[in-house]
A = this chain, B = another copy of it.
């Protein structure tokens, strides 16, 4: 992309948390100009009326979804629930728009697996083969020329980045992975659900989906790609009484002949040395979700309890940034040849 030029950006479904988070990042992006933001339910409402945090930062007004108008953008983000992007995708592809989809519609390559977990047929299986899974640390090269990037999900990002060097090197048993994750309440979205009221979800902690969660097939597909062979993972997500952040505690059984913890640490540091958004903390660290609040960073630390055969990886992200909208902006930057951290220099809020 020519230096100094500015991308025209559209956002479909901007009224949810990933939508407003995209706006937070894009209004400070030096090479992106938000042109259109749609909402079926709130068309006509000024963005800053719905999100007063954006007063003075944008004059945009939500409009009805309109493919013709979106088609004039260079890039369109889908910040929608599943089952929306896949219905509009063929027209947008035909119009030559490049798309970054934050939803789950194009993450699984196997449309039958998608149907199994989402309970309905996939509306656009013909584009699944072309969609590039948007985890830059794994797929950066493929993303450069992609027409359609399906951003990695929040839990899957924290888990894949945490396990990656161990699996790439074959140092843990791929069929005994246990990913114990926990997320803040914003991960449940902005829908009005009793279970997510402050008076219900505050001052409490629980697991959910312990018998099976929709993110599992994405996790296993991604980990299998990394491992170069089949994996089996147990994944139990939990709800933390706070707003932002995901913490994954990942357990692996070291194989015979696995290197020492110090060597594993060195391998993590080497693998991520050039990754702008992955931080391997010193051995013995305990990353806290607040260390990445508002930022596009994943921080990782390693432990080997009692020096024995279980290795524990701690991995934190902000679910709305590296787990969603920041990852999406990073994807856009890669697709259009911009600096990968353009618009993503936000420092975490502390305290």
Query: Contacts A185-B202, A205-B182, A251-B178 given: A52-B281 contact, CB under 8 Å?
Result: yes
Indicate which residue in B198, B247, B349 contacts A198 across the interface (CB closer than 8 Å): B198
Asked whether B53 lies within 8 Å of A347 as measured between CB atoms, the reply is: yes
Chain A 172-200 per-residue mask, 1 if CB under 8 angstroms from chain B, else 0: 00000010101011101011111011111
Query: Contacts A238-B247, A247-B238 given: A186-B207 contact, CB under 8 Å?
Result: no
Asked whether A53 lies within 8 Å of B290 as measured between CB atoms, the reply is: yes
A1 interfacial by beta-carbon distance below 8 Å: no
> Bound state CA distance, A191 and B195, in angstroms?
10
Query: Contacts A234-B251, A243-B198 given: A287-B206 contact, CB under 8 Å?
Result: yes
A28 interfacial by beta-carbon distance below 8 Å: yes
Asked whether A211 lies within 8 Å of B303 as measured between CB atoms, the reply is: yes
> Bound state CA distance, A194 and B189, in angstroms?
10
A229 interfacial by beta-carbon distance below 8 Å: no
Chain B residue numbers with a CB within 8 Å of A297 are: 56
> Bound state CA distance, A292 and B206, in angstroms?
12
Asked whether A194 lies within 8 Å of B190 as measured between CB atoms, the reply is: yes
Chain A contact-residue range equals 35 or more
Asked whether B238 lies within 8 Å of A182 as measured between CB atoms, the reply is: yes
Asked whether B310 lies within 8 Å of A234 as measured between CB atoms, the reply is: yes
CB contacts under 8 Å to B, within A9-34, are 17, 20-21, 23-24, 27-28
Chain B residue numbers with a CB within 8 Å of A306 are: 211-212
Asked whether A286 lies within 8 Å of B208 as measured between CB atoms, the reply is: yes
Asked whether B242 lies within 8 Å of A350 as measured between CB atoms, the reply is: no
A124 interfacial by beta-carbon distance below 8 Å: no
> Bound state CA distance, A290 and B51, in angstroms?
10
Indicate which residue in B24, B188, B235, B240 contacts A347 across the interface (CB closer than 8 Å): B24
> Bound state CA distance, A310 and B232, in angstroms?
11
Asked whether A349 lies within 8 Å of B349 as measured between CB atoms, the reply is: yes
Indicate which residue in B27, B190, B240, B291 contacts A197 across the interface (CB closer than 8 Å): B190
A122 interfacial by beta-carbon distance below 8 Å: no
A288 interfacial by beta-carbon distance below 8 Å: yes
A244 interfacial by beta-carbon distance below 8 Å: yes
A83 interfacial by beta-carbon distance below 8 Å: no
Nearest CB on B from A280, distance (A): 10
Interface hub of A51, A193, A204 (most chain B Cβ within 10 A): A204
Asked whether B199 lies within 8 Å of A186 as measured between CB atoms, the reply is: yes
Chain B residue numbers with a CB within 8 Å of A301 are: 210
> Bound state CA distance, A30 and B221, in angstroms?
42
A55 interfacial by beta-carbon distance below 8 Å: yes
Asked whether A196 lies within 8 Å of B199 as measured between CB atoms, the reply is: yes
8 closest A-B pairs by CB: A204-B290, A53-B348, A206-B288, A53-B350, A210-B303, A192-B192, A185-B198, A180-B180
User: Can you identify 10 A-B contacts, CB atoms within 8 angstroms?
Assistant: A53-B292, A56-B297, A199-B243, A199-B351, A203-B244, A205-B240, A205-B247, A206-B247, A235-B305, A294-B294
Residues of A bordering B, CB below 8 Å: 17, 20-21, 23-24, 27-28, 51-57, 178, 180, 182, 184-186, 188, 190-194, 196-208, 210-212, 232, 234-236, 238, 240-245, 247, 249, 251, 279, 281, 284-295, 297, 299, 301, 303-306, 308, 310, 312, 314, 316, 320, 345-351
